[in-house]
């Protein structure tokens, strides 16, 4: 049994991989698992920095036991974020180490009592407070709403390690090692980092920007989030990714997301995709809502600047899966996208109006024509679909709205 992984003369990673949970927060698929990172500082004082979810506790506690004798015990448990994926082990830790003080801010204490019924032996820290462990000195930076109100980052000044909480984290268990420089190809990992960001953190992008501004003056040698890789070679790269994503910056490309019950909306999608595919300079991603989990669709929409949504009318309104997707997008408050809409209807329209209303609420740029077809699309309908694709490309290239001459106005 591993005693953890040494990060420096005082610091150990003692986290666990979760390969049992199917959906993070019971919402987001994690087919490759996720890591809950926990750290142990062994100095004159012994401090745990974050705990883990209440799974694999045997493995977790054995790691602690290998490094900390029963007599020595733990002096502090620093909770930077009370969400149960990091605080699930708090009760058992308190039972095993009754002298251990739990360290957090006032908001942490309130949530600790609410989630775990613990309100004693708590050390309250404020923004900028220090905690001396011997040679190591921790400073606390309160960074609310990334991703709960009590969240704070902790900077260990001697070795310049930033414990950043969920920020800079990613999905996937740590199979190839815990360090950025141990990963042969960072591309797939960065995708899972973006998926974690869009699914979990993106809604709080404004607060992420405030947190990044707050830590901008720190000389960070190592970045240690609560999920995913420890960045010891390229911490600034991880910071740069989060900076771009939380400013809603996007890459060149278009995402078409559609649903189709009997093929009409899908035929329209094909005409749009063909017109985009013949000229596009960026990526073209196509997602059938009935086949792809919204977790992955959100990730692509966050990544690329153009999005085209297609929905049939279902019971006078949006197709339910599209309704779900736009509610998620609205909840995540993604900004600055260029959008088009299309869809088919039978005995009643309705879906396109709802899509248009959604684009306006999001303050996205709407590219015309909005194409609605009654029944199966005819040749002239498919031409309007192709025009929508062409106008999307023009808009992405020039920023000048074009088209609409043949389209339905929303
Ligand atoms: Fe990893 Fe917001 O908890």
Is the CB–ligand 1 distance for residue 164 below 6 Å?
A: no
Answering whether pTM is above 0.75, one says yes
Q: Ligand 1 centroid to 172 CA: how many Å? A: 14
Protein residue with least CA distance to atom 1, ligand 1: 166
Report the pLDDT value the prediction gives residue 70, as an integer from 0 to 100: 85
Atom index in ligand 1 nearest the CA of residue 226 equals: 1
Residue 79 preceded by cis peptide, ω within 30: no
Atom index in ligand 1 nearest the CA of residue 151 equals: 2
Protein residue with least CA distance to atom 3, ligand 1: 83
Give the span between the Cα atoms of 210 and 246, in whole angstroms.
10
Residue 164's closest CA among 15, 37, 10, 61?
Answer: 37
Q: Ligand 1 centroid to 146 CA: how many Å? A: 9
Is the CB–ligand 1 distance for residue 166 below 6 Å?
A: yes
- CATH 3.40.50.360 domain extents, the chain: 255-393
Give the span between the Cα atoms of 285 and 377, in whole angstroms.
22
Running along the chain, 410 residues long, what does each successive block of 10 average in pLDDT?
Answer: 86 96 98 98 98 94 95 96 97 96 97 96 97 98 96 98 98 90 93 98 98 97 98 97 98 97 98 87 93 98 98 97 98 97 94 98 98 97 98 86 40
- How wide is the angle at C-alpha 384 spanned by C-alphas 407 and 291, nearest 5°? 110
Atom index in ligand 1 nearest the CA of residue 166 equals: 1
Give the span between the Cα atoms of 366 and 359, in whole angstroms.
7
CATH number of 255-393: 3.40.50.360
Is the CB–ligand 1 distance for residue 285 below 6 Å?
A: no
Report the pLDDT value the prediction gives residue 404, as an integer from 0 to 100: 37
Q: Ligand 1 centroid to 36 CA: how many Å? A: 9
Report the pLDDT value the prediction gives residue 175, as an integer from 0 to 100: 76
Residue 165's closest CA among 180, 146, 178, 179?
Answer: 146
Is the CB–ligand 1 distance for residue 226 below 6 Å?
A: yes
Report the pLDDT value the prediction gives residue 362, as an integer from 0 to 100: 98
Q: Ligand 1 centroid to 38 CA: how many Å? A: 12
Pick the CATH number of 5-246 from 2.60.120.700, 3.60.15.10, 3.10.180.10, 3.40.50.300: 3.60.15.10
Report the pLDDT value the prediction gives residue 408, as an integer from 0 to 100: 44
Q: Ligand 1 centroid to 404 CA: how many Å? A: 45
C-alpha torsion angle, residues 172, 175, 180, 184 (rounded to 10): -110
Report the pLDDT value the prediction gives residue 184, as an integer from 0 to 100: 87
Report the pLDDT value the prediction gives residue 277, as an integer from 0 to 100: 84
Is the CB–ligand 1 distance for residue 85 below 6 Å?
A: yes
Is the CB–ligand 1 distance for residue 53 below 6 Å?
A: no
Report the pLDDT value the prediction gives residue 280, as an integer from 0 to 100: 65
Is residue 158 helix, strand or coil?
coil
């Amino acid at each position: 049994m591993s005693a953890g992984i040494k990060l420096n003369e005082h610091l150990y990673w003692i986290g666990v991989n979760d390969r049992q949970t199917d959906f993070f927060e019971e919402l987001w698929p994690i087919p490759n698992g996720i890591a809950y990172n926990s750290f142990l500082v062994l100095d004159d004082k012994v401090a745990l920095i974050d705990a883990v979810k209440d799974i694999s506790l045997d493995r977790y506690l054995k790691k602690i036991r290998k490094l900390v004798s029963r007599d020595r015990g733990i002096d502090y448990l620093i909770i930077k974020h009370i969400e149960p994926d990091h605080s699930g082990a708090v009760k058992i830790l308190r039972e095993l180490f009754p002298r251990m003080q739990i360290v957090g801010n006032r908001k942490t204490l309130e949530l600790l009592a609410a989630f775990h019924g613990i309100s004693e032996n708590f050390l309250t820290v404020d923004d900028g407070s220090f905690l001396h462990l011997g040679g190591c000195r921790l400073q606390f930076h309160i960074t609310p709403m990334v991703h709960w109100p009590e969240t704070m980052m902790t900077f260990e000044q001697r070795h310049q390690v930033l414990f950043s909480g969920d920020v800079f984290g990613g999905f996937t268990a740590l199979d190839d090692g815990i360090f950025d420089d141990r990963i042969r190809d960072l591309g797939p990992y960065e995708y899972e980092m973006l998926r974690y960001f869009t699914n979990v953190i993106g809604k709080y992008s404004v607060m992420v920007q405030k947190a990044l501004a707050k830590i901008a003056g720190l000389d960070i040698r190592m970045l240690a989030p609560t999920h995913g890789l420890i960045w010891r070679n390229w911490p600034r790269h991880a910071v740069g990714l989060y900076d771009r994503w939380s400013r809603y910056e996007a890459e060149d490309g278009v995402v078409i997301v559609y649903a189709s019950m009997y093929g009409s909306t899908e035929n329209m999608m094909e005409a749009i995709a063909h017109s985009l595919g013949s000229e596009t300079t960026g990526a073209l991603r196509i997602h059938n809502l009935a086949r792809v989990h919204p977790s992955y669709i959100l990730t692509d929409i966050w990544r690329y600047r153009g999005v085209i949504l297609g929905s049939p009318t279902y019971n006078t309104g949006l197709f339910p899966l599209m309704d779900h997707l736009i509610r998620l997008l609205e909840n995540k408050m993604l900004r600055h996208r260029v959008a088009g809409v299309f869809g088919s209807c039978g005995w009643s329209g309705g879906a396109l109006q709802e899509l248009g209303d959604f684009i306006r609420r999001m303050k996205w740029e709407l590219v015309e024509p909005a194409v609605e077809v009654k029944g199966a699309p005819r040749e002239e309908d498919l031409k309007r679909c192709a025009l929508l694709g062409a106008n999307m490309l023009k808009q992405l290239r020039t920023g000048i709205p074009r088209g609409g001459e043949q389209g339905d106005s929303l």
